[in-house]
Amino acid sequence: MAELHPVCAPLAFLLGTWQGTGTGVYPTIEDFSYAEEVSFTHAGKPFVAYTQRTKDAGSGLPLHAEAGYLRPQEGGRVELVLVQPSGIAELLEGTVEDQNIQLASNAVLGTGSAKPVTATERRFWVEGEVLYSSVAMAAVGLELQPHVVSEMYRLS
């Protein structure tokens, strides 16, 4: 296996596969619960690949999924480029410090048929054995507010 690129060292705490559960809210939809699996991998290059998939907690049917790349920068900065099958693409920038990544979008784009999303904020943070992941969004004409939050445990 390739050696971790030195600029990825601040992201090493994420590497591997994590599984858990989450909950979602938004003023325009019913609250929901989901199961989630995420993987963070590297190939010796100066980025970390991220994939995520979720399932409805009750029916087990697929819900949201996304894939992208975390691109660490000098001085504790990090970028995330991300796409979703719902037709949305996000470019986010932020910081990584003490196993805590905080990102805000500098662009959110949608295909012609995608629901309108104008801004997102995301966090990934580890406390003890738990990886937490959260997304807030400004969507369908509403202000930035929480959409999903989850807790996951390491599988590998």
Q: Which residues form the interface with ligand HEM (CB under 6 A)? A: 22, 24, 26, 28-29, 32, 34, 36, 54, 63-64, 88, 90, 115, 117, 120, 135, 137, 139-140, 147-148
Closer residue to ligand HEM (CB): 78 or 82: 82
Closer residue to ligand HEM (CB): 24 or 72: 24
Q: How far is the CB of 120 from ligand HEM (least distance, A)?
A: 5
**AA identity, residue 101:** I
Closer residue to ligand HEM (CB): 24 or 94: 24
58 vs 100: CA distance, rounded Å? 30
Q: How far is the CB of 65 from ligand HEM (least distance, A)?
A: 8
Cα 25 to the center of its chain, rounded Å? 16
Q: Distances in Å between the alpha carbon of 127 and those of 1, 13, 17, 43, 124?
A: 27, 11, 16, 26, 10
134 vs 38: CA distance, rounded Å? 13
Closer residue to ligand HEM (CB): 14 or 117: 117
DSSP line for 51-79: EEEEEETTT--EEEEEEEEEEE-GGGEEE
Q: How far is the CB of 55 from ligand HEM (least distance, A)?
A: 9
Q: How far is the CB of 36 from ligand HEM (least distance, A)?
A: 6
